[in-house]
Structure formats: C-alpha cells, structure tokens
Amino acid sequence: MKKKLFVLSGSSGVGKGTVISGFLKRNPNFSLSISCTTRKMRPGEADGINYFYLTREEFEQSVKNGEFLEWAEFAQNLYGTKRAFVEKCLDNNKDLILELETIGALKVKEQMPEAVLIFIAPPSFEELEQRLRGRHTEDEATIQKRLSEVRAEIERSKNYDYIIVNDEVETAISTLEKIIKDEAKNV
C-alpha cells in the first residue's frame, strides 16, 4: 500500500517546530523527511539527520539532473526534497511528513495532488510580530523582511487543504493528529 504524503508549513515564529515535534513524539510511526540545503549547518545539527548539506554547485547539479521533487530559495539559501527519498519512504510503507516553505509545498501539490497540505498559522499577524520582536535577536530591517515573508506565506496558505491556528500548542498538536488520522483513512 502506498502511503499518503503530508506537507506542513508555517511562518517563522509560529511554533511550527514545537507542533511537529510534539506530533512526532506521540506518533513514532511518522518520520520527517530529510531535505537538502545549501545553508550552513547550525550548532547541534548533523549531516543526514537535520538536512543533507550541499554546496550550491552540488545542489544546482541535482536540479539539472531532475532529482528534486521540489526546491525553492528561502532567505538566500536553496532547499529541496529529493524525489527518490520520498518515493522510497512511501513505497516502504513509511508515513512521511515534509516540512516545507509554501512555494515548495505548492509545487509538491502540483505534482502529487493527493498530498495533504497543512499550514500552521499564528493567532494573528500582530501576535506573530510581537513574538518575532520578543526574540530580541534581529535588527529592524531583518524583522521587516521576515514580516513581509510571513504576509506572503499567509497569502499562499489560501491554497492549502487545512489551516491550523496555533493558539495553544497542545490543541494544535491534537488538531494535527485528527487531520492526519482522518486523511490517512482515505488512502
């Protein structure tokens, strides 16, 4: 039996990582796809665990070879999902979640209309702005850039199958579980 593919997106600062890791803890049969990226490895990350880290040349060669199911540029780095990785997981009956920014997610939907797209949204734009500012890690220009990216992502989420508003993490995780369980029944 082939499995269904779930694609999750959410703007930065929305708590998407917490919702996904909460879901994965409760549902160990699901795994998160490992993407390729040209961005630098962050402390605590490992090659082949968080991402496959490629040089821009290696990434572009894979694009030319048609190896990516989707890829996109985000914050000046390239990110992509290898087609072979996803197909192998689905064929091996593994439940798979892809965590992608919205352009890549919509590209997956074009190629695999049966994929389920889920967007994790902030309770409000104002609250997200407060959360981003509350981190105190970025200057005003960076915050403004992030906020305009967030606006664009929220706009694209109108084409998603589901939107989960992350008011409260536990509720968001339960909602995600319900959506995935219901959808998985209709394979």
| Touching ligand 5GP, residues 96-125 (CB under 6 A) | 99-101, 104
Q: Which of 81, 68, 89, 86 is nearest to 36 (CA)?
A: 81
| Touching ligand 5GP, residues 51-70 (CB under 6 A) | 70
Q: Which of 51, 143, 42 is nearest to 100 (CA)?
A: 51
Q: Considering the complex, what minimum distance in angstroms separates the CB of residue 4 from ligand 5GP?
A: 18
Structural tokens at position 112 = 């695999």
Q: By CB under 6 A, which span of 52-60, 73-81, 133-141, 170-178 interacts with ligand 5GP?
A: 73-81
DSSP string of 75-107, one letter each residue: TTEEEEEEHHHHHHHHHTT-EEEEE--HHHHHH
Query: Count of residues binding ligand 5GP (CB under 6 A)?
Result: 12
Q: Considering the complex, what minimum distance in angstroms separates the CB of residue 70 from ligand 5GP?
A: 6
Q: Considering the complex, what minimum distance in angstroms separates the CB of residue 180 from ligand 5GP?
A: 17
Structural tokens at position 36 = 């390729």
3-class SS of residue 33 = coil
The number of helices, as runs of H, and strands, as runs of E, in the chain is 7, 9
Contacts of 171 (CB under 8 A, 6+ apart): none
Structural tokens at position 5 = 């593919």
Residue from 5, 20, 72, 172 touching ligand 5GP (CB under 6 A): that is 72
For residue 175, state whether it binds ligand 5GP (rule: CB under 6 A): no
Residue from 81, 157, 166, 175 touching ligand 5GP (CB under 6 A): that is 81
Residue nearest to ligand 5GP (CB): 104
Q: How many angstroms separate the CA atoms of 132 and 78, rounded?
A: 23
For residue 74, state whether it binds ligand 5GP (rule: CB under 6 A): yes
Paired with 64 in beta bridges are none
For residue 83, state whether it binds ligand 5GP (rule: CB under 6 A): no
Q: Considering the complex, what minimum distance in angstroms separates the CB of residue 1 from ligand 5GP?
A: 25
Q: Interface residues with ligand 5GP (CB under 6 A)?
A: 35, 39, 70, 72, 74, 79-81, 99-101, 104
